[in-house]
Amino acid sequence: MPDRVIKPAEPWGKPDDGGEGGPRTPDVNRPNTDKLLERMRRVDPRAARRYRQRSGE
Amino acid sequence: MHRLLGLETEYGLYVEGVDVSDLADEARAVVQSFSGPCAKRWDYRDEDPLKDARGFRATQLTFNPEDIKYEKPTGKHLSAREDHVDHILTNGARLYHDHAHPEYSTPECRTLADLVAHDKAGERIVWACAQTRARQAHREISIYKNNTDFHGMSYGTHENYLVRRDLPFDWLITALLPFFVTRPLFAGAGKVGCEDSRVQGVPFQLSQRADFFTEICSVDTLHRRPLINARDEPHTDPRMYRRLHVIMGDANMSEYATALKVGTTSLVLSAFEQGFLPTIVLRDPVRAIKEVSRHLSGPWLVELDDGRTMGAIEIQRTYLKAAQERFVERDDETKWILKEWETVLNDLETDSSRLADRVDWAAKRQLLESFIESENLSWQDEALFSLDLEYHNIDPERGLYYALEQQGAMRRFVTDQKVRDATEHAPSDTRACLRGECVRKFGKFIEALNWGRIWLNHEDKIVEINLRNAFDGRVKDLYREINESSTLAELVRKIVQK
């Protein structure tokens, strides 16, 4: 998986008033590919076969 | 933004050991697991899904014959209230059951930041309900914010835009189609495979929904779906406004994609309201959206009515230019939209993999490609459908989108704190705050409510608060009256005096 280069997004507008200062801009720019792959390997490969839905709007 | 906006999301539901024919009961049970303060009596009298914005009333809605096979004859007719099990929350949102899906309609918002926060708040609320239900039922429950089951059944994520009524609807159809047909370039959520059995050789496409459109315009939503939905339910003063009900979009996990999808659409509508009329006419819009969706790289050529072809990016640039000419100095959110819209189109032209930190289809594609490479699979492997599904799992410990977000690999648009706030509080600058405050303070007296009205029971008399024309100053005045009334009698006195 190619490394991602995340360009800093320009903050727009005023800061949120939430006070926590959550992650508007990613502070990690290279995802841990091994961790992602590990999470993907845990997905049941037949999950979509079982997944049936009613037609919605 | 300079208009009211809202999103409705029908969530996919998987309950371990439960057959699809029982999903409606399960969806109701998930919704009924909501444990916070709420009102529960939705009033349907202002709804008329057969009313067509083109000036007539449809005779009936069409239903998917494949879906009807799943109907279980219970011998019992449910009223709309029994069927939908509505919950109206203190944040002004509506949580309910629809067509075997838990559905969450955000409150009316005026800013993209509020809209994205409330969309994400909806995920948290529905997920919390599902967890409660799972504990009660001793079954594993998964909730997916997507639009397909990969077996031909689709469910919607609808956008709502308040638009001036004096824009003729036929004109809107013509003007919107080229924009909508090409919008999946940045608003598509990505999908493994193709759900049109006549089409082979599409391992991955941009849009979840494109396969499901067969018509250009109608009031239908469940079957024979149109690119432009003509449902005429403004939920406000019908002489002044229409509510453009957009059903052709995908559910976005990316906050950025939600913001750009709604922001660009709102700006396009603003340009129309100022007289912009694109001269682009597509030969076959239904075919065109599928062709755009099924190509992962340019030039995404679309056939025009006069026989020429035009690139989808060039079509988008036509709308972008119209917005830039009119709104470049308008406000911070508008500046953000114009800048990001242009950047995304540039990235699509040069290297679409750059979009993997913002645009769902690009993020999903990169994840799947990494898995294919790592596990030595092909695009035909069944596991890819399941990984696609898991991208949309709203459980933050399982969902693959959330795996990316937790690593800081997806651009955010709002903070976690703002999302948490949105689970309880309505936007303060729309009528949603009036609904929310009434639920919070006078919930036990609410006889019924809907988007435009609240009926309170005061000493066995019904008092109506009309929100249909509540904008700006009227919202402030009404909010003050509700907020400063310590008793229902005091509030009723103030309302009646007016």
Complex prediction ipTM: 0.94
A34 touches chain B (CB under 8 A): no
DSSP assignment letter at B282: B
In this complex, is the C-beta atom of A13 within 8 Å of any C-beta atom belonging to chain B?
yes
B165 touches chain A (CB under 8 A): no
**CA-angle at B152, arms to B148 and B154, nearest 5°:** 40
| pLDDT tens digits for range B220-262 | 999 999 999 999 999 999 999 999 999 999 999 999 999 999 9
Q: How far is it, in rounded angstroms, from Cα B143 to Cα B340?
A: 30
Q: How far is CA B207 from CA B87, B210, B306, B357, B365, in A?
A: 31, 6, 27, 17, 12
Rg of chain A over all Cα atoms, to the nearest angstrom: 18
Instruction: Give the 3-state secondary structure of residue B465.
Output: strand
B301 touches chain A (CB under 8 A): no
pLDDT attached to residue A30: 65
Q: How far apart are CA B454 and CA B431, in angstroms?
A: 11
**What's residue A45's pLDDT?**
98
Angle, vertex CA A33, rays to CA A32 and CA A39, nearest 5: 95
Question: Is B132:B35 a contact under the CB 8 Å cutoff?
Answer: yes
Q: What is the Cα–Cα distance from B151 to B129, expressed in whole angstroms?
A: 26
Here the tokens at position B247 are 């059903």
CA distance A3 to chain B (A): 10
Active centre residues of B (catalytic): 98
| CB contacts, 8 Å: B385 with chain A | 48-49
- Asked whether the bond before A26 is cis by omega within 30 degrees of 0, the reply is no
Tens digit of each residue's pLDDT (9 = 90 or more) over A1-52: 444 433 333 322 333 433 333 334 444 356 788 999 999 999 999 999 999 9
Q: Taking 50 as the threshold, does the pLDDT of residue B185 lie above it?
A: yes
Task: Give the Cα separation of B81 and B377 in Å (integer).
Answer: 48
Mean pLDDT computed over B454-474: 95
- Which member of B99, B400, B408 has the closest CB to residue A29? B408
Hey, is B408 helix, strand or coil?
coil
Cα–Cα separations (whole angstroms), residue B236 to B268, B299, B310, B426, B453 = 22, 42, 38, 18, 9
How do residues B128-172 score in pLDDT, each as one tens digit?
999 999 999 999 999 999 999 999 999 999 999 999 999 999 999
Please state the pTM of the whole predicted model. Answer: 0.94
- Contact check, Cβ <8 Å, A53/B100: yes
pLDDT for B2: 81
Angle between helices B332-350 and B312-327 (to 10 degrees): 160
Residues contacting B373, CB < 8 A, separation 6+: A1
- Note the pLDDT tens digit of each residue in B62-109: 999 999 999 887 768 899 999 999 999 999 999 999 999 999 999 999
Give whole-number Cα distances, B70 to A52, B105, B187, B290, in Å: 11, 25, 31, 28
What's the average model confidence in pLDDT over B177-182?
98
